[in-house]
Amino acid sequence: MSTEPDQARSPAREAAEAGRFRQPPDPRFWRLNRSLPFDWQLAIYDIDQSRAHARGLAAIGVLDSDELTRMESGLERVRERMAEHGFAFADSDEDIHMAIERLLGEEIGSLAGKLHTGRSRNDQVATDVAMVVQNHAITAIELCAATMAELLRLAEEHRDWALPGYTHLQRAQPVYLGHHLLAYFWMLARDVLRFQFALDSASVMPLGSGALAGVNWEIDRDSVADDLGFEHVTHNSIDGASNRDFVLDYLAAGSACTMHLSRLGSEVVIWSSTEFGFCQLDETFSSGSSIMPQKVNPDSAELLRAKSPRVGASYATLLGVMHALPLTYGKDMQEDKEPLFDAIDTVEGCLEMAAGMLEGIRFDRARMEDASGDEMLAATEVADLLVRRGVPFREAHGIVGALVRDAVEQGGKLSDLTPEQLAARSEHLDDSFYEVLERSSWLESKRIAGGTGSGPLTAQIEEARETLAAVRARVLDERS
C-alpha cells in the first residue's frame, strides 16, 4: 500500500485546507503521520463505536430517527465493503477514522459529516483502543485457561513420576513431575489476574472527553457505555483523552505471561536434549534439520523462549512514548498501536502454541527416575535426620558435607559408607542413615503444604481444579 498522498483529499484535510492550510502535506511527513497501515485493525471497533455514538446523538435530538437509520445502515455497508475481497483504502486516508468517515460519505452523502458532532478523534481513538484491550484481555484469559488445563492434565497423569529438581541447573532435590508442571499452572493463574486487571482498566469509556475538555452536547455517556460494553465512564476528560494505562496494563500482563512461557520453553528445550532425554515433543511441534536427517528439533519450545522479549520491549516502548508527555493528546500517542498489536499477536500465538505443544509432549519415566536416583540428592535428608536428633542445622550441614566428601573420595555413594565411617563424623548416625537414603522417602518427607509429597500434591491438584473452574466461569461470564 502506498503511503503517499494522492490527488484525492481526506475529509479532514480538505476541511483543514479549506481554512487554515494551503498546501498538501509533504510526503516525508505523510509517510510517518499516516497510521492507516496499522490502525485499519481498529475498523470493527470504530464502526461499533460510531453506531453507539450515533444513537447517543439521536437520543438528544442531534440526529432525527430517519437520519439515525440512514447513518446506521450506512455504517453497516461500510463494514461490509471493507470485508470484501480486493477492498483498498485510498492513499489519501490518513487513519482509520478518516477512512471510515470518507466511506460513510460515499454511502450516505453529507449526512456523514454529522457523525463527528460531539466527538474528537482523541476520545474516539482512545475508545477504540480500550475496546481492543478489553476484547484481547478476555482472549488472553481464555487461552491461559486452555494452557492451564493441559498442565493440570499432565500433572495428574504424572503425579508420582520422580525427576530431579534443579537450582543453578545443578541437580538439587527430587520432586514429582506433577508438582513441577503445576509450578507453571500457578504462574499462568497469576497472569489471569494480570489480564483481568487490564480488562478492568480498559472498561472505563473515554468517549465524551472530546479533544480534552468534554463536548458541548449532553450525550448520555452511561447509556453509550452500556451500549458498547464498558462498565464505567471516565471521570475527567483530560485524563480520558490522554490515558493509555490500559494498554500498558495489557502489555505488562503479556510481558509476564510470555516470560513464564519462555521458562517453560527453555526447560522443554533442555529436557528434550539427548543428554537429558526427559521428554520428547510431538513431531507436529518440531522441525527436522535440512542437513542432518536424524534430528527432531524442539523449535516450538525455542520460539516460546525467544518470542517473549518482544512483548517486554513493546511495554518499554509505550512506557517511553508516554513518559513525560504533557497533557493531553500528542501525536506521540499514535505510537501506542503497533506495540499493542504486535504484543497481542505474540501473546495469543505463544499461548496457543504452548497448549498445543503440551498436548503431545511425552515424558520418559525411566530417564527421569534414573537422574533423580542420584543419592547425593538426599544430602538434606541426612542433615534433617541429625537435626531431629538435636544437632543444630548448620552443624548438621557441615557433618553431611564431610560425609559427601568421604564418599566422593572413595569413589562411591553415600550408602557405601560404613557404620564406622559414620560414627567418625557423628555419634548421632545409626542405621536410619541408610533408611533416609531410600529414594521414596526423600519425596514423601515433603509433607508440608505446598511441598512435593503425595499428600500436599493431591491437595494442590484439587486447588488447581477449583482455580481453573473459576477462571473458565469468569470467561463465560465475560463473553455472555
Question: Residues in the site for ligand ARG, rule: CB under 6 A?
Answer: 35, 39, 95, 121-122, 125, 329, 333-334
Which residues are paired to 21 by β-bridges? none
HSE on the CB side for 452, CA within 13 Å?
A: 23
Torsion of CA 107, 131, 234, 61, to 10 degrees: 20
Of the two residues 95 and 375, which places its CB atom closer to ligand ARG in the complex?
Answer: 95
Please give the grid coordinates belonging to residue 192.
489471569
Of the two residues 35 and 201, which places its CB atom closer to ligand ARG in the complex?
Answer: 35
- In the block, which residue shows the cell 542445622? 393
CB of 36 to ligand ARG, least distance (A): 8
Please give the grid coordinates belonging to residue 276.
537429558
Of the two residues 172 and 211, which places its CB atom closer to ligand ARG in the complex?
Answer: 211
Of the two residues 122 and 234, which places its CB atom closer to ligand ARG in the complex?
Answer: 122
Compute the Cα dihedral for 420, 421, 425, 426 and give only its sign: negative
Of the two residues 203 and 334, which places its CB atom closer to ligand ARG in the complex?
Answer: 334
HSE on the CB side for 334, CA within 13 Å?
A: 16
Which residues are paired to 170 by β-bridges? 167
Of the two residues 31 and 121, which places its CB atom closer to ligand ARG in the complex?
Answer: 121
**If 0-12 CB within 10 Å is exposed, 13-18 middle and 19+ buried, where does residue 469 land?**
exposed
CB of 125 to ligand ARG, least distance (A): 4
Of the two residues 126 and 403, which places its CB atom closer to ligand ARG in the complex?
Answer: 126
Please give the grid coordinates belonging to residue 208.
465524551
CB of 80 to ligand ARG, least distance (A): 23
CB of 130 to ligand ARG, least distance (A): 13
Query: Which active-site residues does the annotation give?
Result: 168, 289
CB of 334 to ligand ARG, least distance (A): 4
Measure the CA–CA gap between 437 and 432, rounded to whole angstroms.
9
Measure the CA–CA gap between 6 and 332, rounded to whole angstroms.
25
Of the two residues 120 and 134, which places its CB atom closer to ligand ARG in the complex?
Answer: 120
CB of 121 to ligand ARG, least distance (A): 4
Task: Indicate the pairing of strand 279-280 with strand 362-363.
Answer: antiparallel
CB of 328 to ligand ARG, least distance (A): 9
The residue type of 381 is E
The residue type of 88 is A
Measure the CA–CA gap between 326 and 261, rounded to whole angstroms.
36
**Do residues 461 and 452 touch, judged by C-beta distance below 8 A?**
no
CB of 343 to ligand ARG, least distance (A): 17
Closest to 130 (Cα-Cα) out of 260, 256, 264, 228? 228
